[in-house]
Structure 1
Amino acid sequence: MSAEPLLADAPWLISGGTARVLSLLNANGEEARVVGGAVRNALLDLPQGDIDIATTALPEEVVRRARSAGIKSVPTGIEHGTITLVIDGAPYEVTTLREDTETFGRKAKVAFGRDWVRDAERRDFTMNGLSVDAQGVVYDYVGGLADAAARRVRFIGDPDRRIAEDYLRILRFFRIHAAFGAGDPDRDGYLACIRGRAGLSGLSAERVRMEMLKLLVAAGASAAALAMADGGLLQSLTGGVVYAGPLSGMIAIERELGLPASSTRRLAALAVAVTEDARRLAARLRLSNVEAKALDSMGHRWWRFATRDEATARRLLYRLGAERYQDRVLLAWARGGGDVTSARWRELAELPQRWTAPKFPLKAADFIARGMAEGPALGRVLTLAEDAWLAADFPLDEGALASIADQAAARASRDQKT
């Protein structure tokens, strides 16, 4: 066991809401520490996310102390000993030390305890098994300090047992490695994931979606996805062929253009070649409506961009809108397998920054003035006129618009007669 004052000067620990929660819980024979990802991130000099706190105090005592201090408490997982304290709008998840009495995935039976070693040993990976007290002393019962220094993601104890407790840990192994690891995945953990891959089929789509989308935006997403594909771990999740090359291309393109990582774009690059792929993925992962529509749009004839000039691209930008347009261009670029520094692809991708589509200037009144009656025919003539306006490259002068309106009205009249 290691216990060293490695974070004694950490501002997030010694002041603000974290310090207040620790002070509240470190009294009258109870002890509290920050645990898990916050400790890992601090040691790796990475930004802090959520701050989780473990305590020897029982949930009822946590609630009592919070109430006496005027701190809001929310029983977010009280059956598992978790209370969320809210300070200045920021949540602090406080969980009583636990020991597993039976382990079967998300429904493991736990008993509250006071043993910091046993609490650490029930966690997933060594670098997540670290804890730090209010003085900045880091406690390591599982070898997490050495693994964090080496950027090595390693299961605590027997990897097969850890995975059997919750098969989502297979995805977490690759996601944590993609975000915090270096080099190849830990071999023992990797082989255990392959041995346990059949257990992935029993996971809920919502849990798989959450881990996959987080994995895809991690720094090492490309290498992690390739390792998963090589181990036969991705195909069952996507329900189809996996395209590791386009994923790598998409990541490189985003970086080349200075774009933020997009989990949806990267998922499309990994597993969408046609719209059927998009719809299957949306069903398998229970994607949100926004995510599903974005994937479906990207999968729709993206390959046509390979031969599109800018005039044609402007028409597509008008139809799709800037966000959908750019996503589809980037998927075509990534799937094309070409140079990520290509000037032509960059010009197509950055068209929304250089050009804003005008609004279609013709209105229903323009056609009523030409003798068209209100009704379905009026809608059809507007569509005909808009198509002609796009084909003419968005003219705005009155003469061109009058000509387009006259021709559309004449064609609609002919269509009505036949």
Structure 2
Amino acid sequence: MKNAVPLNDTAWLTQGPPAKLLAVLDRDGEEARVVGGAVRNVLLGHPPGEIDVATTALPEEVVRRAAAAGFRPVPTGVEHGTVTVVIDGTGFEVTTLREDVETFGRKAKVRFGRSWQKDAERRDFTFNALSVSRDGTVHDPVGGIEDLEQHRVRFIGDPAMRIAEDYLRILRFFRFHAAYGRGAPDPDGLHACIVAREGVRKLSRERLRAELFKLLIAPRAAPTLVVMAEAGLLEEVLGGVPYLAGVANVIAVEAVLGFEPDPLRRLAGLAVSIAEDAERLWERLRLANVEHERLASMADGWWRIDPAIGESRARALLYRLGPAGYLDRIVLAWARAGAEAADIAWRELATLPERWQASVFPLKAADLIARGVPKGPQLGRALAAAEEKWISAGFPNDASALQRILDEAARGDEPHSGGAPPHQVRGRLRRGPGAQEN
């Protein structure tokens, strides 16, 4: 494989902010190149995505040149050689070349350098060490292009040493394999990941979550997760035994329904059966509160859903959960049932939000007050009961049905049993979209 090859698509490189930045940095005795993921993506025929630049210029010189050109330099990590340069509203990370002086895990001692080869050898995977000059020449110091062509994710140098520098590289190895790999992972890399798997415990929960979510939406997530499970890595990440068939079926159902890959829904398929699972993952991955509530909702009652529930109960569920929550439950229940992805009955449930939308709950607290219900907790209970009766009756809008519902709720009659039980989120009834207390 040649060390330098021409890049076919250079429009992204020779126009706009990237071209302006390289024109300023790549002159007067200094060199600058686009590095890493952008080069990899373009070689694969994808948009470049986020563009990072490496340079022989020291951080202070980067700041000076950027300011002189009218750009806005932001010293985001000068001590590590990184300056963010903002051009026309777009930020670019510019990092000075580095080389190792001593290596002992993540505490490796480095210094700024001028060798592109030594800088490349510090990176994680061969295709992430690719760089491109502003004339469109791709520089490939460690065989990254061949690995891309072979759909192979390969560590640079000693895999164990690369992993010891940052245990997140274990997850990145599998994430990139799920995105770009074919067949079995590189055996040397896989062995090193297995040996070092307990290092995952040392990672911050935020970094763990970010990398896992990227892996879950990758094109070959399902078979890659199988490899991780067999290697004992998934239990280290999740803190529990994964359900591989569940996530594979969620992915299949998403594809049949034309849904975008959803990492949280896939995580539920992989690792959530009961509420305790959602709590564990919330703690382990430091999920946002909204993610935690959604995961808990998916764990709540999916096993009671199948096509036999009928249209009326499905409508009640859709009203209570809203379209997004409803579809989460349907996809998870369908996946856990192991039904064929093209099953017509499941499709009918999944497409209900496209065919039906409930009207706004038409009754108000004032209607019950007019019937003698006192303000306070009793009024809240009566209004909730009225809403349940309205749901059970099939969401009527005619005056006689509404009058009957109000009369029954004011008397304290129990709701009819036609609908599914109210959905609970941390003990609070999730009201429908039109429920009002005054």
Give TM-score scaled by structure 1 length. 0.96
* Identity fraction in percent: 58
- How far apart are the structure 2 equivalents of 1:259 and 1:288? 22
Farther-moved stretch of structure 1 (324-333 vs 300-309): 300-309
In the other structure, the counterpart of 1:183 is 183
1:141 is paired with a residue of what secondary structure?
coil
Q: Secondary structure at the match of 1:17?
A: helix
Alignment partner, residue 54 of structure 1:
54
Matched, 1:173 2:173: yes
Distance in 1 separating the partners of 2:254 and 2:48 = 24
CA offsets per residue over residues 248-281 of structure 1, 9 Å max, x none?
1111111111111111111111111111101100
Kindly report which structure 2 residues correspond to 1:260-339, keeping only aligned pairs within 5 A, or say none: 260-306=260-306, 307-339=308-340
Amino acid at match of 2:271: A
How is 1:147-158 mapped onto 2 (pairs within 5 angstroms)? 147-158=147-158
State the match for 1:135 in structure 2: 135
Contact in 2 for aligned 1:238/1:281 (Cα 8 Å): yes
Distance in 2 (CA, whole Å) between partners of 1:369 and 1:131 is: 75
In structure 2, what is the Cα distance between the partners aligned to 1:105 and 1:205? 20
Deviations 1:280-314 (A, max 9, x none): 00110001112111111001110111242121011
SS of the counterpart of 2:412? Answer: helix
Secondary structure at 1:111 match in 2: strand
* 1:355 pairs with 2:356: yes
Q: Structure 2: which 5+ residue stretches go unaligned? A: 415-438
Q: Secondary structure at the match of 1:101?
A: strand
Aligned to 1:99: 99
Q: What secondary structure is seen at the aligned counterpart in 2 of 1:228?
A: helix
Give the conservation status (yes or no) of the 8 Å contact 1:380–1:412.
no
Given that 1:156 and 1:162 are in contact with CA atoms closer than 8 Å, whether structure 2 keeps it comes out as: yes
How far apart, in 2, do the equivalents of 1:101 and 1:360 lie? 69
Map residues 14-413 of structure 1 onto 2, 5 A cutoff: 14-103=14-103, 106-306=106-306, 307-411=308-412
CA distance in 2: counterparts of 1:153 and 1:22, whole angstroms:
29
**Matched AA of 1:333:** W
- Tell me, in whole angstroms, the C-alpha distance in 1 between the residues paired with 2:212 and 2:31: 35
The Cα of 1:104 is off from its aligned counterpart by 5.1
- Tell me the SS of whatever aligns to 2:123: coil
Indicate the larger mover: 403-412 or 97-106: 97-106
Counterpart Cα distance in 2 of 1:58 and 1:4: 25
d(CA) in 1 for partners of 2:73, 2:221:
36
- Measure the CA separation in 2 of the matches of 1:263 and 1:350: 21
Deviation per CA, 1:166-187: give whole Å up to 9, x if none: 1110000000111122221111
Aligned counterparts of 1:221 and 1:9: Cα–Cα separation in 2: 29
Cα distance in 2, alignment partners of residues 337 and 358 from structure 1: 34
CA distance in 1, matches of 2:105, 2:299: 35
1:130-161 Cα deviation digits (max 9, x unpaired): 11101111111111111011111000011111
Measure the CA separation in 1 of the matches of 2:25 and 2:57. 7
- In 2: Cα distance, 1:100 partner to 1:318 partner: 60
Once the two structures are TM-superposed, the CA of residue 9 in structure 1 deviates from its matched residue by 4.2
Q: Which amino acid aligns with 1:175?
A: R
Q: Is the 8 A contact 1:33 1:54 kept in 2?
A: yes
State the alpha-carbon separation in 2 of the partners of residues 21 and 317 from structure 1: 51
Separation in 2, partners of 1:357, 1:88: 46
Q: 1:106 to 1:351 in 2, by over 3 A?
A: farther
Q: Which runs of 5+ in 1 are unaligned?
A: 414-418
Counterpart for residue 436 of structure 2: none
Contact 1:3 1:137 in 2 (8 A): no
CA offset at residue 198 of structure 1?
1.2
Look up the equivalent residue of 2:101 and give its one-letter code.
T
Give the drift of 1:106.
Answer: 5.0
List per-residue Cα deviations over 1:196-245 (Å, max 9, x = no partner).
Answer: 10111111111100100010011111111111011000112111120111
Q: Which moved more, 1:84-93 or 1:62-71?
A: 84-93
Q: What amino acid sits opposite 1:25 in the alignment?
A: L
Structure with a larger share of its residues in helix: 1
Residues 333-375 of structure 1 deviation map (CA, whole Å, 9 limit, x = unaligned):
1111110111111111121111112221111111111112211
In 1, Cα distance between equivalents of 2:149 and 2:3: 15
Map of 2:424 onto structure 1: none
SS at match of 1:353: helix
Partner of 1:416: none
Q: Secondary structure at the match of 1:73?
A: strand
Please, what is the CA RMSD of the aligned residues? 1.4
Deviation, structure 1 residue 101 = 3.0
State the TM-score, normalized to the length of structure 2: 0.92
The amino acid across from 1:359 in the alignment is V
Q: Give the letter aligned to residue 370 of structure 1.
A: R
Paired residues in the alignment total 413
Q: Secondary structure at the match of 1:394?
A: coil
CA distance in 2, matches of 1:206, 1:253: 28
